[in-house]
């Protein structure tokens, strides 16, 4: 797992998803080198690079051109760019052009989560998995309801990480924003 500080960052591009959360996303996705991954919202490329290390192929969409170019730089730095096809555009406009995939990872949806999941579901292979990371409360609820509408049984974990920093008098814990990981398995 890459350290957060290894990524190039920009003020107006979110990410990378924090290392400990990336660990859980990768673990819950069960990604292997047989899998094709479609990621919506590459941001800084934090999750893109973790999937690229482990999957057969990754397609990653972002509507922000700065996120596409930042992710491209981060992938090149890690020599992972060959495995990833970066696709600029809004997910709703381009998702139907992606061939079949095994994992649908949604890290950004701008309020269109339900439609993104519906469109993505039809190209998700039979053993497919869907993973959504949510910062907003509303996205958590939207994710659960949308997955249920597709006939799936969603799981949700809410992750609150605190990192310790050694100071003179002891160890101070710094809390990170809680993030929810909502996931479901097709065919289960
Ligand atoms: N997981 C990333 C951070 C994701 S931030 C990392 O580890 O670096 C969320 C991203 O989703 C943003 O870059 C935003 O531009 C993108 N996004 C939001 N809605 C989108 C949509 N409808 N289509 C494509 N990209 C979208």
d(C-alpha 64, C-alpha 3), whole Å: 24
- Return the percentage of the chain with pLDDT > 90, whole number: 98
Rounded to two decimals, what is the model's pTM? 0.96
CATH number, domain at 30? 3.40.50.150
Domain holding 153, by residue range, is 4-185
| Residue identifier of the C-alpha nearest atom 7 of ligand 1 | 46
Which residue of 26, 43, 181 sits with most ligand 1 atoms within 8 Å of its CB, as the best mutation to test the pocket?
Answer: 43
**Which ligand 1 atom sits closest to the C-alpha of 13?**
13
Residues in the chain, total: 188
Ligand 1 atom nearest to CA at 22: 7
Helices 113-121 + 137-149 axis angle, to 10: 30
* Span 28-57, average pLDDT: 98
Q: What is the pLDDT of residue 188?
A: 72
Residue 74: other Cβ atoms inside 10 A = 25
Rounded Cα distance between 184 and 147, Å, is 7
Total structural domains within the chain: 1
């Amino acid at each position: 797992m890459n350290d957060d500080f290894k990524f190039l960052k920009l003020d107006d591009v979110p990410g990378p998803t924090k290392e400990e959360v990336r660990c859980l996303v990768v673990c819950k996705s069960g990604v292997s080198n047989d899998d094709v991954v479609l990621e919506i919202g590459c941001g800084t490329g934090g999750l893109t690079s973790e999937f690229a290390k482990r999957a057969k192929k990754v397609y990653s969409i972002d509507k922000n051109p700065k996120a596409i170019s930042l992710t491209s730089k981060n992938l090149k730095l890690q020599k992972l760019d060959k495995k990833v096809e970066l696709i600029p555009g809004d997910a709703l406009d381009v998702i139907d052009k992606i061939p079949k995939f095994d994992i649908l990872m949604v890290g950004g949806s701008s309020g269109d989560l339900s439609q993104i999941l519906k469109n993505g579901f039809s190209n998700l292979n039979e053993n497919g998995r869907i993973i959504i990371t949510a910062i907003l409360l509303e996205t958590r609820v939207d994710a659960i309801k949308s997955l249920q509408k597709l006939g799936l049984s969603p799981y949700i974990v809410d992750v609150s990480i605190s990192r310790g920093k050694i100071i003179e008098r002891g160890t101070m814990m710094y809390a990170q924003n809680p993030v929810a990981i909502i996931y479901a398995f097709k065919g289960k």
